[in-house]
Amino acid sequence: MKKNTMMRIASVLLVVVLLTTSVISGTFAKYVTSGSAADTARVAEFGVVISAGGQLFGDTYKAVGEGNSIVAWSNASAGTVNSGTEDDNVVAPGTLNNDGLTFGVVGAPEVKVAVDFAVTGSDIILKQGTGYNKTTTSTNTTDTFDLATDYNPVIFTLSQDIGGGYTAVAAAGDTLEEIAAYLNGLDAEYAPNTDLATKIGSFKITWAWAFDGNDDADTLLGDLAVNNALTDTANYNLATEFSVNISVTQID
Amino acid sequence: MKKSNKRKSGAVWLVVLILFICVAATTMAFLSRLDNFLLDDSGAISLLGDSDNGKDKDNQSSATQSGSENAGSTSQQGNKKPTNPGFEASDNNTVWSTNTKVEIFRISYENGEKVVTVQSDGGDKVIAPGTENSYVFKLKNTGDVALDYTVEIDAFCTPQGTEIPIESRVNRYDGKWIAGSGTEYADVAQLDKAEDSATLGAGRYTYYTLDWLWEFESGDDERDTALGNLATEQDLLFTIVIKTTATESANPNDQSGISAPQMGDNTHFTLLITLAICSFVVMISLIIYERREKRRENAEAKKVEEKEDI
């Protein structure tokens, strides 16, 4: 009997609870309601760094055995080769630059980018020909020499480091004109998050003018630098220049 | 006597079974109603024509009708007592609660040729020159009484003082601009504190479109580059917060907003739940009754056996 009473009370309570729940939930629904949404974004990273260092030519050179090929100009008689004027860079047989000129691009931008190279280069050259006088002051017409091919006394080497150190790029050639053409061909677009250090990395240009190369041609070039006296100036170039301009631009 | 008890017990179990089926059926019906909360019906076409149970024929195809046009058509609902207000803010993917994370910004962006031009490295959402996006959010009155609602927008850069050249504009479905305009975008300061208030009739909805962009050719490449470079050292953040609040309107029969399409299922939600509860209670009662009967019969049978033994 006691159990039945308890069961009855429990049943009634269950029904009452069920009914009041619906009533209470209805009451709550009448309050003020609100909602909010938010979103945050950060500025995408660019962080591309274009660097350049070192120097390609110098105004004073020490002998190879004395360490660095280019040294700071101190006076007109310093070193084994000296331009005579500070900042007036020169090259001569036996000079070289193993430290070279370096330039490169690093960074992994979160945007698509285009990398553009604007490179120019010109070389010292004595062009293929016959009957070159061994010196510009020579009057002896038999004292001549021939060049079967163009003579580029300064041999350049382009190396690239995309991780793991510099490696010579054979395809780039060994004149500044060829190297410039090679670098200009590296223009490319890169997808976001491309690590440019592994695609472009760092370049280094080194060079050497062999001391024991073509003595006749070397001497003529040296004399020409003083007199500049060949009748056909199209046959030679006495100045070597190199300029590089790299730009990394976001593209849409 | 035993035969009669058995028949009685069988009948009770039959009733219990029927009630159980009823409970199952009503539960299923209840669950099917949940679909209305999960599916976005903003693009659906009404199957019944009028969405207000045939009360407002003028609003039959009023997907673009403004609030002012509808404000006066309230007479048919004059007798209906508002009892169940409900409000829902959502987008195509999410129903908002508090500070719900939504997709105003993105992890990556493509250009017109479907080429990815900006991609976050770590899965964060990012912005960059040339990026843009549109975000549409919907406010829906899910109750049976008109609501006054407010939309407020906060926009800010972090760290404070950082100037990110994001431009944006916010447009209501009926053409009202609450930031910027059709030809001009607003800067961050103008977007911040942009707000709109209106009334939403029972069962009606409204939507807003937030467009933002970081111009690719803003004319200040140096600033853009500096921001991109600085971003490698610290997070430069841009945040947009959209807050909505709704309260019962002083005019509970206001019909402003877009009429929600009617899908053809007019089953009363409350009735289904009541049915389920009643069925459950009756089922439990019958089970208890049946057990008590059994116990009583067993006791009687025992008494008879004892008498026979004596």
Tokens of B187: 């800067």
A178 burial class (0-12, 13-18, 19+ CB within 10 angstroms)?
Answer: middle
pLDDT at position A6: 59
Record the tokens describing residue B32, joined without a space: 């099917």
Q: According to the model, what pLDDT value does residue B5 have? A: 60
For residues A85 and B102, the model is more confident at: B102
Query: A33-43 and B126-127: which strand pairing?
Result: parallel
Give contacts of B239 with chain A, Cβ < 8 Å.
38-40
Residue numbers in chain B where pLDDT is lower than 70? 1-83, 260-268
The answer to whether A37 faces chain B, any CB pair under 8 Å, is yes
From residue A238, alpha-carbon distances to A121, A193, B219 in Å are 13, 45, 44
Q: What is the pLDDT of residues A140-187, one digit of tens each?
A: 556 788 999 999 999 999 999 999 999 999 999 999 999 999 999 999
Token output for A157: 């080497």
How far apart (Å, rounded) are the C-alpha atoms in residues A92 and A104? 28
Cβ B229 vs Cβ A46: under 8 Å: yes
Among candidates B41, B85, B80, which has minimal Cα distance to B63? B41
Adjacent-strand bridge partners of B87: B141
**Which residue is listed with tokens 């500049």?**
A228
Q: What is the pLDDT of residue A181?
A: 97
Residues in chain B within 8 Å Cβ distance of A47: 228-229, 231-232
Spatial neighbors of A74 by CB under 8 A, at least 6 apart, are: A60
Q: Do A42 and B235 count as a contact with CB atoms less than 8 A apart?
A: yes
Q: Which residues in chain A are closer than 8 Å to B292, comparing Cβ atoms?
A: 4
What local confidence, expressed as pLDDT, does residue A76 receive?
A: 78
- Is A35 in contact with B244 (Cβ distance < 8 A)? yes
Residues in contact with B153: Cβ distance below 8 Å, sequence separation at least 6, in sequence order: B170, B178, B179, B191, B192, B193, B194, B195, B210, B240, B241, B242, B243
Compute the distance between CA of residue A228 and CA of residue A129 in angstroms, rounded to an integer.
Answer: 17
Count of CB atoms situated within 10 Å of the CB of A86 = 13
Residue ranges of alpha helices (H) inside chain B are 2-33, 35-38, 67-70, 188-191, 221-230, 269-309
Q: Is A248 on the interface with B (CB under 8 A)?
A: no
ipTM of predicted complex: 0.75
How far is Cα A42 from Cα B122, in angstroms, rounded to an integer? 11
What confidence category does residue A193 fall into, taking pLDDT thresholds of 50, 70 and 90? very high
| β-bridge pairing A113-122 and A188-190 | antiparallel
| pLDDT per residue as tens digits for the range A34-72 | 889 999 999 999 999 999 999 999 999 987 777 767 888
**Rounded to a whole number, what is the distance in Å from the CA of B40 to chain A's nearest CA?**
18
Q: Which residue has the tokens 């309107």?
A: B249
Handedness of CA B74, B96, B38, B276 (dihedral sign): negative
Q: Which residue has the tokens 């629904």?
A: A29
Average pLDDT, chain A: 86
Q: What is the 3-state secondary structure (H, E, C) of B63-100?
A: CCCCHHHHCCCCHHHCCCCCCCCCEEEECCCCECCCCE
CB-based contacts of A177: which residues, under 8 Å, 6+ apart? A121, A122, A123
* Residues in chain B closer than 8 A to A34 (CB atoms): 98, 243-246
Structure-token match 């990026």, residue found: B131
CA atoms of B105 and B134, how far apart (whole Å) = 9
> With 80 as the cut, is the pLDDT of residue A27 above it?
no
Give the helix/strand (H/E) hosting B174: none
In terms of Cβ atoms closer than 10 Å to its own Cβ (0-12, 13-18, 19+), residue A60 is buried
Question: Between the CA of residue B273 and those of B34, B145, B150, B255, B276, what are the distances in Å?
Answer: 13, 22, 33, 29, 5
pLDDT band with cut points at 50, 70 and 90 for residue A235: confident
Contact (CB<8Å) B124/A37: no
CA distance A165 to A159: 9
Q: Sort strands A144-147 and B108-110 into parallel, antiparallel or unpaired.
A: unpaired
DSSP B130: T
Write down the pTM of the prediction.
0.68
